[in-house]
Amino acid sequence: MRSGAVSLSPLRGVCLVGFFVIGLAAFGFLDDVRQNSGFQWSFLGAAVLLFAWSVTVFALARHTGRTLTLKVILRKQHYVQASAQVVFLLYWGWYWRPVYDSAFLIVAQLVFAYAFDMLLCWSRRDTYVLGFGPFPVILSINLFLWFVDDWFFLQFSLVALGFAAKELIQWNKQGQQVHIFNPSSFPLAVFSLALILTGTSDLTWGQDIAITQFFPPHVYLVLFLVGLPGQYLFGVASMTMSAVIATYAFGLLYFAATGVYFFYDSYIPVAVFLGMHLLFTDPSTAPRSEVARIMFGVLYGLSTVALYALLGYAGVPTFYDKLLFVPVLNLSVQLLDRLTLARWLRHFERVAFGRSRSQPQRNLAYIVVWAAVFSVMSAVQGVGDRHPGQWVPFWQEACSQGRTYACSYLADMQETYCRSGSGWACNEAGILHVALARSGKDRRRLDPADAAGTLGRGCDLGFDSACQNVARLASGFNSFEHGQPTLQDYPIILRGTKGPIKDRSPAALYARACNQGWDNTCS
């Protein structure tokens, strides 16, 4: 950590903030921005407000004789976390290009965050600490939620709320006055709740973000690796590990009870796994004792399960599951620390967590245990790219056996592949739509006649069975013609929930299909 301090005259202060304000306004004149007036005014409006605020702050400082100070402190917690986030963004962006295309928007938010944080601080006290603090906040926010261009001004509002909460909502924690809420998770939770209540999730890229974060290969391993430096330096491995284990254990129990997967295509969705590494693990807003940190992690893991079920039942996009509960957990940290003062828990922490060892030794021990847990989970497909819930054959068998929600989810998968251009998937989705409508087991599919559009698309795509089934449906027939996927269908239906398949040679496609359980392709 390096530090230094410099006093600022009102004029120098205005010039400093003005540098950020001009930089922010400059983004409004980029070609990709100025073509949309609403998008452009998100930048220009934010710049005008910041400049007016800076003039007011420094005019009052001059009038009252205050001396405003800038102090430089580079905290390891900030740049280590930011480095992990940047690595993941770069890796994710390589497989989903909108991340790279939107990189300038992340930079714009950083510029806004520095100016906003400075002005908020100097509005309340004399010294602003300049460092890497805004980096992990902005990067964390952009790992989970972006607003679309027409509503991008809300992205600046989201950032402002995070820094305002950090500055204004504080408590005394073990003799120190500190912020209560994680400055990235608090605004994410508040805005997520507002989007849910107003039914405006389509104003964001949240669903696309949650889906595409699974596109890169070995993404669980990448997240595990980028999280290790912070886990070692700040002792948060126990939080991540307990959250992962709790969620995975629930998934195993759910599968044993129902024969299907709770999260459908994974035991732990990648976006949730990301939250367990780079969202709720801020050591400043986490418990101090190891037992409390383990409870903190378990609560986070189980909260994602409960919220996923609740949001799905309410018909709300489920990608909010990892965002909503973190502020509640932040409020619980002092209670959790007090609970660990109970005699049996205090003895457990002293014996089980090696209090005789130094903190770095304990942190390293946790990482070794966590690495062993992750290795075992990877070996048994608890995490990784090859979870059976991604593949159509698993859900075909589950549907044929009448397992809970299996037929509805299979129909959803097939409709997705139909929209992507698979005539076979259109035909199968149409047939299953009719079956579900006649059984009354799916409230979204109540009229058999609605299958005509899906079957018609399959016919338009050249799948002969779909053409026959359009006529059968119109004639009131009760039986329909199935067919086998073609080489044109396999690149679509074999990708599961991963990114596009690159090797589309017949041999590679048939081998992939055989591995996924398409028995007719194995010979």
Q: What is the pLDDT of residues 82-91, one digit of tens each?
A: 999 999 999 9
User: Do 354 and 421 sit in the same domain of this protein?
Assistant: no
If phi > 0 it is left, if psi is from -120 to 50 it is alpha, else beta; for residue 476 that is: left
**What is the model's pLDDT at position 351?**
55
Low-confidence ranges of the chain (pLDDT < 50): 1-2
What residues contact residue 468 under an 8 Å CB cut-off, 6+ apart?
481
Question: Could you give the angle at the alpha carbon of 243 between the alpha carbons of 239 and 244, nearest 5°?
Answer: 120
User: Do 124 and 271 sit in the same domain of this protein?
Assistant: yes
- Cα separations in angstroms, 7 against 13, 49, 55, 182, 316: 9, 24, 17, 30, 51
**What is the model's pLDDT at position 350?**
59
User: Do 436 and 359 sit in the same domain of this protein?
Assistant: no
The rounded distance, in Å, linking the Cα atoms of 490 and 204 is 31
**What is the model's pLDDT at position 349?**
61
**Does any domain span residue 326?**
yes
**Does any domain span residue 219?**
yes
The rounded distance, in Å, linking the Cα atoms of 380 and 399 is 24
The rounded distance, in Å, linking the Cα atoms of 149 and 154 is 10
The rounded distance, in Å, linking the Cα atoms of 76 and 82 is 10
**Does any domain span residue 415?**
yes
Helix (H, G, I), strand (E, B) or coil at 56: helix
Length, in residues, of the chain = 523
The rounded distance, in Å, linking the Cα atoms of 154 and 188 is 12
User: Do 136 and 182 sit in the same domain of this protein?
Assistant: yes
What residues contact residue 126 under an 8 Å CB cut-off, 6+ apart?
66, 67, 68, 69
Give the up-direction half-sphere exposure of residue 62: CA atoms within 13 A in the CB hemisphere.
12
Q: 336-348, pLDDT tens digit by residue?
A: 988 887 766 666 6
User: Do 365 and 397 sit in the same domain of this protein?
Assistant: no
The rounded distance, in Å, linking the Cα atoms of 111 and 22 is 10
- DSSP of 324-347: SSHHHHHHTHHHHHHHTTSHHHHH
**What is the model's pLDDT at position 353?**
59
User: Do 360 and 407 sit in the same domain of this protein?
Assistant: no
Q: H-type helices in 75-133, by residue range?
A: 76-95, 98-101, 103-124
**Does any domain span residue 322?**
yes
As given in the structure block, the two tokens for residue 208 are 């696309």
User: Do 207 and 314 sit in the same domain of this protein?
Assistant: yes
User: Do 8 and 106 sit in the same domain of this protein?
Assistant: yes
**Does any domain span residue 384?**
no
Helix (H, G, I), strand (E, B) or coil at 69: strand
The rounded distance, in Å, linking the Cα atoms of 109 and 137 is 10
Contact by Cβ (8 Å): 408, 447 = no
Helix (H, G, I), strand (E, B) or coil at 222: helix
As given in the structure block, the two tokens for residue 375 are 């290795």
Nearest to 259 by CA among 381, 430, 407: 407
Report which DSSP code applies to 463. Answer: -
**What is the model's pLDDT at position 1?**
46
User: Do 371 and 401 sit in the same domain of this protein?
Assistant: no
- The residue out of 379, 405, 428 marking a domain boundary is 379
User: Do 333 and 228 sit in the same domain of this protein?
Assistant: yes
Give the residue numbers spanning the domain of 14: 3-379
- The residue out of 325, 355, 379 marking a domain boundary is 379
CB atoms within 10 A of CB 119: 24
Question: Exposure of 220 by Cβ count < 10 A (0-12 exposed, 13-18 middle, 19+ buried)?
Answer: buried
The rounded distance, in Å, linking the Cα atoms of 426 and 414 is 7
The rounded distance, in Å, linking the Cα atoms of 318 and 426 is 25
As given in the structure block, the two tokens for residue 458 are 């399959």
Helix H or strand E encompassing 129: strand 127-130
User: Do 351 and 427 sit in the same domain of this protein?
Assistant: no
**Does any domain span residue 385?**
no
The rounded distance, in Å, linking the Cα atoms of 378 and 369 is 14
As given in the structure block, the two tokens for residue 102 are 């939107």
Q: Is the dihedral of CA 198, 201, 206, 211 positive or negative?
A: positive
- Cα separations in angstroms, 465 against 28, 414, 449, 456, 457: 53, 15, 17, 11, 12
- The residue out of 316, 351, 379 marking a domain boundary is 379
The rounded distance, in Å, linking the Cα atoms of 10 and 20 is 16
The rounded distance, in Å, linking the Cα atoms of 158 and 189 is 10
Domain count, the chain: 2
**Does any domain span residue 444?**
yes
Q: Which residues pair with 176 in a beta bridge?
A: 173
**Does any domain span residue 270?**
yes
pTM equals: 0.94
In angstroms, the first-to-last Cα distance of the chain is 63
The rounded distance, in Å, linking the Cα atoms of 159 and 517 is 46
CA 193 to chain centre: 15
Contact by Cβ (8 Å): 95, 216 = yes
User: Do 112 and 256 sit in the same domain of this protein?
Assistant: yes
Percent of the chain whose pLDDT exceeds 70: 97
- Cα separations in angstroms, 345 against 300, 316, 337, 338, 355: 20, 39, 11, 10, 13
Question: Could you give the angle at the alpha carbon of 368 between the alpha carbons of 362 and 370, nearest 5°?
Answer: 100
